[in-house]
Amino acid sequence: MKTTGIFEGNALFGPSLARPFLKAFAVSLLLLAMTAGIAGAASRIKDLVEFQGVRDNMLVGYGLVIGLNGTGDTLKDGHFTKQSLQAMLNRMGVKPTDAGLDSKNVAAVMVTASLPPFARQGSRIDISVGALGDSKSLLGGTLLVTPLLGADGEVYAVGQGQLAVGGFAASGSAETVTKGVPTSARIASGAIVEREVGFELKNMKVVKLSLRNPDFTTARRVATAINAFLGTSAAYAMDLTTISLKVPQNYRDNVVDLLTDVEQLRVQPDQLARVIIDEQSGIIVMGENVRISTVAIAQGNLTIRITETEQVSQPGPFSNVGTTTTVDRTGIEVDESSGNQLALLNGGVSIQELVDGLNALGIGPRDMITILQAVKTAGALQAEIKVM
C-alpha cells in the first residue's frame, strides 16, 4: 500500500498530521517576517552611541610648502613666511640676506589631522594642508617636516610629503579660470604617529555609552536591550545622554568582545518632535512626530503697484496755437489677495497634512516659516522650533 504524506517516497507525516504541521509552519513564517520587519526598522546601537574614551584627537601644525611654480607667498618685509624661511635656513646652516629672499616658490601653510583612537607609534594618518598667506596655488608643492601638536602642546605626529591638490587656477591678461580650491590640499598617509594617547580597555570595570542624539526614551531602550542580551541588570540610563554598562564577569579582561556584541544589538530610537528652520536659505525640516492642534490659517498680502508712463501731447493739425510736450500718466493698482481663503487644520494632523494644507494656500517657504512661528506662538504647534 502506498502511503501519502508530505514527503513522497519517505512519508514522515500522514494526512492527519499534515494540516496541523502546515498551519504551525505558516504561523512560524509569519512571526519570522514580523520580527524581520521590526529589526529592519530599528538601528544598531553602534550607530546610536559613542563609547566614552574611544575618540579622535585633533592635531594642528605650521609648516612650509616648497616647489611651487611661482604661486607662493610674497616675501615682503615683516611677512611671516619670510621669517619662517629664514629660521629654517638658519637651522640648516645657511644665513641668507634679506635681499636674497625673493622666491615665489614657498608658501606658509597650516596642517591639520585627526589622530584616531588607539593609533600606535609608527602608524600613518592622513593630513590636510591649507595656505595661510597670499599664495595663489599649492599645486606641485611639497610639505617640509611639520610637527603636529595636540591640545596639550605635545607633538603627536610629524607630517611631510607631496601635496595632492584637487583644484587649479589659470589666468591671463583678461580672464581667470579657477576650478575647486587650489590653496587646499591633502596628503594620504602623510604623517607618522610619534606619541600614543594612553587609554586601555582591558582593565575597565564600567563602560559608558553616549547617545549621539540625547533622548530619555532612547537611552532607556538601549539599556533594556543590553540587559536583555546579557541576562542581567548590568546597564542603566544615567541621564538622557549617558548609559552606564558594568562589565559582566564573563567579559572581564575582554572588553572588546563586550563592545562588539553590544554594538550589534538593534534598538528603535525615539524622535523628538522638532521643526528646524534656516532663515537664510528658507529651508524647513520637520520631524515625523510634529502635530498641529486645531487652528485656522489665512495668508494674504496687500500689494500696491504704481506705474508712471509718459505720453506725448501735441496740438491738432493746422493749429497755430499750442506746443508739443510730454504729459505724465500715473496708474495705481491695489491687490488685496482676495482669492486667498481661511484654511482650517483639525487637531492632531500629521506633518504631511500640514504641508498639504499650507501648499493649498499657495504659501512659499519664506511665508511658511512665518506661519509656523505664529502657530507656535498660538500654542497650536506641538513641537520644538529651532532656528539655525
Q: How far is the C-alpha of 372 from the C-alpha of 92, rounded, in Å?
A: 66
For the chain, first and last CA: distance in Å? Answer: 81
Q: Is residue 114 part of a domain?
A: yes
Cell 504524506 sits at which residue?
A: 5
pTM: 0.65
Looking at the structure, do residues 189 and 76 belong to the same domain, yes or no? yes
DSSP-derived secondary structure letter, 159 = E
pLDDT of residue 220: 95
pLDDT at residue 321, rounded to an integer: 67
Is there a single domain that holds both residue 289 and residue 347?
yes
Q: How far apart are CA 298 and CA 292, in angstroms?
A: 15
Give me the pLDDT at residue 11, please: 41
In the listed set 221, 246, 267, which residue is the last one of a domain according to the structure? 267
User: Which of 142, 159, 193 is a domain's end point?
Assistant: 193
Cα–Cα distance, 45 to 269 (Å, whole number): 9
Do residues 111 and 224 share a domain? no
Which alpha helices (H) appear in the chain, and where do they start and end? 15-41, 45-48, 80-91, 216-230, 255-263, 351-360, 365-377
Question: In this structure, are 263 and 282 located in the same domain?
Answer: no
User: Is 46 inside any structural domain?
Assistant: no
Q: Residue with C-alpha cell 528652520? A: 277
Q: What angle do CA 162, 167, 169 make, to 5 degrees?
A: 110
pLDDT at res. 38: 44
Question: Which of 225, 241, 267 corresponds to the end of one domain?
Answer: 267
* Closest-CA residue to 165 (of 91, 204, 107, 249): 107
Q: Do residues 383 and 345 share a domain?
A: yes
Return d(Cα 381, Cα 194) in angstroms, integer. 55
Note whether 142 and 256 are same-domain residues. no
**pLDDT value at position 194?**
95
Cα 98 from chain centre: 47
Residue 327 belongs to a domain: no
Residues of the chain with pLDDT under 50: 1-18, 20-22, 24-40, 302
Residue 188 falls within a domain, yes or no?
yes
Residue 334 forms part of a structural domain? no
- The answer to whether position 362 is within a domain reads yes
Q: Do 99 and 215 lie in a common domain?
A: no
Q: Are residues 260 and 284 in the same domain?
A: no
Please tell me whether residues 220 and 134 are part of one structural domain: no
Question: How would DSSP label each residue in 45-104?
Answer: HHHHEEETT---EEEEEEEEEE--SS-S----TT-HHHHHHHHHHHHTT----GGG---S
Number of domains comprising the chain? 3
Cell triple for residue 243?
548609559
Whether 113 contacts 167, CB under 8 Å: no
Q: Is residue 322 assigned to a domain?
A: no
371/250 same-domain check = no
Residues 91 and 62 in one domain: yes
Does residue 156 sit in the same domain as residue 220? no
Specify if 124 maps to a domain.
yes
Domain that holds residue 140: 57-193
Q: CB 78: neighbour CB atoms within 10 A? A: 6
Give the amino acid at 246.
Answer: K
